Amino acid sequence: MPNDFTRESCRDFVAALASSAPAPGGGGAAALVGAIGTALGSMVGALTLGKKKYADVQREIAALMAKCENLQVALMDQVPADAEGFEPLAKAYGIPKDDPERGRILEEATAVACEAPLKIMALCCEAIEAVALFAEKGSRLAVSDAGCAAACCKAALQSASLNVLINTKAMKDRDAAETMNARVNRMLDEYCALADRVYESVRAGLTEGN
């Protein structure tokens, strides 16, 4: 099992990312950034709960915070999962090119390496939906944090997508590859647009009258 760098310090994680080690890499970084964005959304919720001004949305905000707590855990879990999913592919590249089993093993390992980043993307989509509601209904004093949350979750979604696409590009089974590519593109099209709407709405509100 690869090292779970989420249990180390932030500085250790960044140092590991900067090294030549195969993991953590882009997928793990995407998962962490997604978790950070989701947590920022939860912070907006925490600053909304108990405020009389937002009495009519208390139940909805509490439910969103509970959902985001689960998403944060799931995204953090994808940091070691991404490293674990990449490990068979790293080993497969070391198989001698004249080994008749190399192609099959590489193909299977490449498909496995797509699983964690696809999961990260799906979790980020859920997080962006929650952040949009935090931005709409949460405390106006923390609206900038909702915008930051949207930007982080979008960046995580886009980053994870590249970790799928680099692998599907190498797959011999083009039907399977295109099925995954279509799933990636659907998530990008819908949820990057939603994150952008949240960000632009927050930015417009903060610059109005300036």
CA quadruple 76, 121, 37, 12: dihedral positive or negative?
Answer: positive
Q: Distance between CA 114 and CA 27 in Å, rounded?
A: 10
208 confidence band (pLDDT: 50, 70, 90)? confident
What local confidence, expressed as pLDDT, does residue 210 receive? Answer: 63
End-to-end CA distance of the chain: 53
Q: What totals of helices (H) and strands (E) does the chain contain, helices first?
A: 6, 0
Instruction: Determine, yes or no, domain membership for 2.
Output: no
> Residue 181 is part of a domain; what is its CATH number?
1.20.120.680
At residue 2 the predicted structure's pLDDT band, cuts being 50, 70 and 90, is low
Please count the structural domains in the chain. 1
Residue 129 lies in a domain: yes
> What's the pLDDT score for residue 5?
82
| Any domain includes 173 | yes
Average pLDDT over residues 111-115: 96
Residue 5 is assigned to a structural domain of this protein: no
pLDDT tens, 120-164? Answer: 999 999 999 999 999 999 999 999 999 999 999 999 999 999 999
Question: At residue 75, does pLDDT exceed 60?
Answer: yes
In-domain check, residue 109: yes
* CB distance 22 to 133 below 8 Å: no
Q: What rounded mean pLDDT belongs to the chain? A: 95
Residue 4 belongs to a domain: no
Kindly indicate the confidence band of residue 73, based on its pLDDT and cuts at 50, 70 and 90. very high
Q: How confident is the model at residue 1 (pLDDT cuts 50, 70, 90)?
A: very low
Dmax of the chain from CA atoms?
71
Structure confidence at residue 180 (pLDDT): 97
152 in a structural domain: yes
Over range 174-195, report the average pLDDT.
98
Integer Cα distance of 150 and 195 in angstroms: 5
Contact between 31 and 79 (Cβ < 8 Å): yes
Tell whether omega for the bond before 22 is within 30 degrees of 0, i.e. cis: no
pLDDT confidence bin for 94, thresholds 50/70/90: very high
Determine the structural domain holding residue 120 and report its residue range.
Answer: 10-207
Residue spans of alpha helices (H) in 138-173: 143-168
Question: For residue 3, is it within any domain?
Answer: no
Summarised one tens digit per residue, pLDDT across range 7-59 is 889 999 999 999 998 889 999 999 999 999 999 999 999 999 999 999 999 99
